[in-house]
Homo-oligomer: A and B are copies of this chain.
Amino acid sequence: MGDIVSKSEFVLNPVTAPEYRCDPITGIWSIIAPERAKRLAIESENRSRCPFCAGNESLTLPEVFAFRAEKSIANDSNWRVRVIDNLYPAVRLSSTEVCYQPNDCPDHVRTFGGGCPAQGFHEVIIEGPEHERSFVKLSKNLFREVILSWKQRLLFYHEKKEIGYVQIFKNHGPEAGASLEHSHSQLIALSDPPGFIAEEIRSGKDYYQQHDRCTWCDWLKKELDLGIRIVAQNHSCVAISANAARWPFETWILPRTHFSHLEFTSEEIFEDFIALTQNVLLGLHHALLDPPYNLVLHSGPMRCKNLPSFHWHLEILPRLTQPGGFEWATGRHINPVPPEQAAKFLHRVISGE
C-alpha cells in the first residue's frame, strides 16, 4: 500500500498496534496499521536524503540480511542488497506474543467490531546502493542477488514457528503504490496464507485430490499446446498472459516442472527464472514506456517443503488502468486488452521479431 494523500490532521493521531479487523458480514479482513500513517509526515521531511541510498544506513532500522563486500560489517555502507525491518510496519511481532491469525479472533470481535493483533514481520529489500528507481535497469548480477535475497528470506522464515506464509511483493511507481523511488521490494510474513493465496492453496488441493495431478501443471501443458498466450520462454520457465487477466498485459512466470516453493527449486530453474523475469520486465519497460507495476510472488506456505498440489509462480501486474466502483463493489475486474493480443504484442517486443 502506498499513500497519495497529502498529510493531514489524522496523521498525527496517537499510534496503536496493527490490528486485523473483520467485515461484519463477509468476514473478509483488513489490517488497520496506524503506524504507517506516520510515514507520510516523516518521508516528506526527508525528501532530500533517500534512506535507502548507501551512506544513509542510519536512517533505517538495522539490517537483518545483506549481500555485502568481504570484510565489511553489518550496517556499514559496503552492501549490494540490504534487507531491513520496515520502519512503518503493517504487522508486528514481539517475542512474547502469541501469533494471532484472523480466524483466531474471538467470535464477537469477528462479527461485531474491534480487532485482534495483526502479527508478523514486514521487511524491505533494498535493491542496490545507488539511487536507481528502475528494477529492470539493475545489472544482471545485482538483479540476481535481489531474487536470491528473496530466496534467503523465505528460507529464514521456514525456521520461524510463528510464520505460516511469506508474501514477497514489489511496487514500481507511485501509481502502483510505491512511496519511495529507490528500487525496493517488500516482504510481509504472516501466521497463515491470506485471502487469495489461501484460496489458491485450497483449490489446488481439491484438484489434486480429484485428479492426482497439479492443476498448474495441467493448465501449463494446455497453454503450451495452445500457444496463443505464451509471452516468452526459456529452458525451464514460461511467461504466460493470464487468461482472466485483471490488468492489461498481466503476465505470469512459472517453472515448467513441478515445484511448490521458489526457495526449494532446483538451481537450474532458479537461474532460468531470474533470466526470464528480467527479460520480460525489460520487454514491458520498452513496450509500455516504463509502466507502473506490481510483482507478487506466490510461493508455497511455510512449514512444508514439497506440496504436490501447489506450483509457485510470479505475477507481473502492470498498472495501466485504475480500478473503479465496479471493481471495488464486486471484486471482479474489467480489462480492455485481450490476453492473446497482449501476448502477441509482448512476444514480438521481447523476441525482437
Contact assessment for A322 and B113 in the assembled complex, using a CB-CB cutoff below 8 Å = no
Task: Tell which of B197, B326, B341 touches A90, judged by Cβ atoms closer than 8 Å.
Answer: B326
Q: Which residues of A contact B (CB under 8 A)?
A: 1-6, 8-10, 13, 16, 21-37, 39, 90, 111-115, 167, 169-171, 174-178, 186, 188, 194-197, 199-200, 203-204, 207, 215-216, 218-219, 222-223, 226, 229, 242-246, 248, 288-289, 291, 294-298, 315, 317, 320-339, 341-342, 345
Instruction: State how many copies of this chain the complex holds.
Output: 2
A27 CA / B246 CA spacing, docked (Å): 13
> In the assembled complex, how far is the CB of residue A259 from the closest CB belonging to chain B, in whole angstroms?
16
Task: Tell which of B24, B33, B339 touches A215, judged by Cβ atoms closer than 8 Å.
Answer: B24
A169 with B325: in contact, given A25-B204, A194-B330 (CB under 8 Å)? yes
Residue on B with the closest CB to A291? B5
Contact assessment for A329 and B200 in the assembled complex, using a CB-CB cutoff below 8 Å = no
> In the assembled complex, how far is the CB of residue A240 from the closest CB belonging to chain B, in whole angstroms?
10
Task: Tell which of B6, B177, B336 touches A323, judged by Cβ atoms closer than 8 Å.
Answer: B177
Majority secondary structure of chain A interface residues (helix, strand, loop or mixed): mixed
A186 CA / B289 CA spacing, docked (Å): 31
- In the complex, which of the residues A30, A35, A298 has the most CB atoms of chain B within 10 Å of its own CB atom? A30
A28 with B322: in contact, given A34-B338, A243-B23 (CB under 8 Å)? no
Contact assessment for B334 and A90 in the assembled complex, using a CB-CB cutoff below 8 Å = yes
Task: Tell which of B16, B169, B248 touches A5, judged by Cβ atoms closer than 8 Å.
Answer: B248
Contact assessment for B332 and A23 in the assembled complex, using a CB-CB cutoff below 8 Å = no
A113 with B333: in contact, given A323-B177, A328-B317 (CB under 8 Å)? no
Contact assessment for B341 and A13 in the assembled complex, using a CB-CB cutoff below 8 Å = yes
Contact assessment for A329 and B10 in the assembled complex, using a CB-CB cutoff below 8 Å = no
Contact assessment for B326 and A188 in the assembled complex, using a CB-CB cutoff below 8 Å = yes
A244 with B324: in contact, given A37-B336, A194-B330 (CB under 8 Å)? no
Chain B residues, Cβ within 8 Å of A174: 322
Task: Tell which of B24, B30, B324, B331 touches A219, judged by Cβ atoms closer than 8 Å.
Answer: B24
Can you sample 25 A-B contacts with CB below 8 Å?
A1-B321, A1-B335, A2-B321, A3-B322, A5-B248, A5-B291, A5-B320, A10-B337, A21-B243, A26-B199, A26-B200, A28-B244, A28-B331, A30-B335, A33-B335, A36-B334, A90-B326, A113-B229, A167-B329, A176-B322, A178-B324, A195-B331, A196-B329, A294-B325, A315-B329
A219 CA / B330 CA spacing, docked (Å): 22
Chain B residues, Cβ within 8 Å of A337: 10, 32, 34, 37
